[in-house]
Amino acid sequence: MASVDKTDTTQSPLKNSTVKLQIRDVSKTFQAKQPVEALAAVSLEIMEGEHVVFFGPSGCGKSTLLNLIAGFETPSTGEITANGKPVVRPGSDRLMLFQEHGLFPWLNVISNVMYGLKNQGEFRFRYWKQREVARSWLKMMQLEEFEKALVHELSGGMKQRVALARALAPDPEVLLIDEPFPALDALVREKLYGDLQEILAKTGKTVISVTHDPREAACLGDRVFIFTARPGSIQREIHIDLPRPRGINDPAVGKFAEQIMSELGDQKNDERAWSISVAEYC
């Protein structure tokens, strides 16, 4: 199984599982009047079933790398492979969950969740089967009585849960999360962290999430990659071997958050990012 018990193999917990994503010397330069090097050559491997977090201040290339993995952008150099096959375009094997949910307003809640299923061979043109699967996901998100609701009738937290259901329904191998729950109040976020961990533990998905919040990184990640800016590159990798589920306010999580922050401590920009993320909390 991919979800490894980390207490017995603390050094390299996931060595025995297979490599899901391989990122080899990938860099990205955006062509403009003055070319912008968003990401300097980066290499890393992501194992099946692990939750990796890209952490860093804004402009450090973490979102760029996520977009490259999703296939929205193509790398300037290097190669990304998923299951050994090179990534060329977006697809539901590497499904992205967006910061601003991106739900379709012309569809109601259940049709939004069914959307991705319609593109899959085994579900194509099988409405009842699609609806059955979508309902079970809505039930898991405790949204079953809202299946006929329209997107703008939902609260912010509910929209994010519908978006999560829509992303998980097509059963992606890798889930990419861009700033999981940014514009939500602290109480809703805390519950969502719990729900997210529970669901991911159940499904054993490989997850990559991007955040500028150290607590979020410590709460969600098995491994946290700390990025620095200009040009974006990985400064350090931290293993977090805390048992799950973790609460966002657990003292142990707080300790790791401090460690993550201290890696960035001497950079003024990042202190500002830290204070911004604290301000978002209050």
Partner 1 sequence: MKSESARKTGIIVTIFYLLIFCVWQALFNVGLIPDYLFPSPFQVGQRLWELWQDNYLLPSIKATLMRMAVGFSIAAAIGLGFGLMMGVNQIVNRCLRSLFLGLQTLPTAAWVPISLLIYGLSDHGIYFVIVMSSAPAVAIATSTGIVRIPPIYLHAAKTLGTAWYSLPARVILPAALPSITTGLKLGWTLGWHGGVSAELIKSTIGLGFLLYMGRELNDAAQVVGIMVVTILFGLLLDRFFFGIIEHHIHIRWGLEKKNG
Q: Site mask, partner 1, residues 158-177, x = CB under 8 A?
A: --------xx--x-------
CB 208, CB 52: distance < 8 Å: yes
End-to-end C-alpha distance for the chain, whole angstroms? 39
Residues 6+ apart with CB under 8 A from 75: 26, 27, 28, 68
Region of 89 on the Ramachandran plot (φ > 0 left; ψ -120 to 50 alpha; else beta): beta
Which of residues 104, 252, 265, 275 is near partner 1 by CB under 8 A? 104
Q: Which stretch binds partner 1 (CB under 8 A): 5-13, 84-92, 193-201, 209-217?
A: 84-92
Cα separations in angstroms, 122 against 82, 117, 136? 22, 9, 17
Which of residues 105, 122, 125, 266 is near partner 1 by CB under 8 A? 105
Cα separations in angstroms, 37 against 59, 67, 75, 274? 11, 15, 11, 24
Residue 102 binds partner 1, judged by CB under 8 A: yes
| Location of structure tokens 């997210």 | 196
To partner 1, the closest distance from the beta carbon of 76 in angstroms equals 20
Residue 91 binds partner 1, judged by CB under 8 A: yes
CB 83, CB 172: distance < 8 Å: no
Residue 116 binds partner 1, judged by CB under 8 A: yes
Q: Which is nearer to partner 1, 91 or 245 (CB)?
A: 91
From CA 225, how far away is CA 63, in angstroms rounded?
A: 13
Number of residues forming the site for partner 1 (CB under 8 A): 27
To partner 1, the closest distance from the beta carbon of 238 in angstroms equals 28
To partner 1, the closest distance from the beta carbon of 248 in angstroms equals 26
Q: Which is nearer to partner 1, 96 or 260 (CB)?
A: 96
Q: What residues line the site for partner 1 (CB under 8 A)?
A: 70-72, 89-92, 94-96, 98, 100, 102-106, 115-116, 119-120, 150-152, 166-167, 170
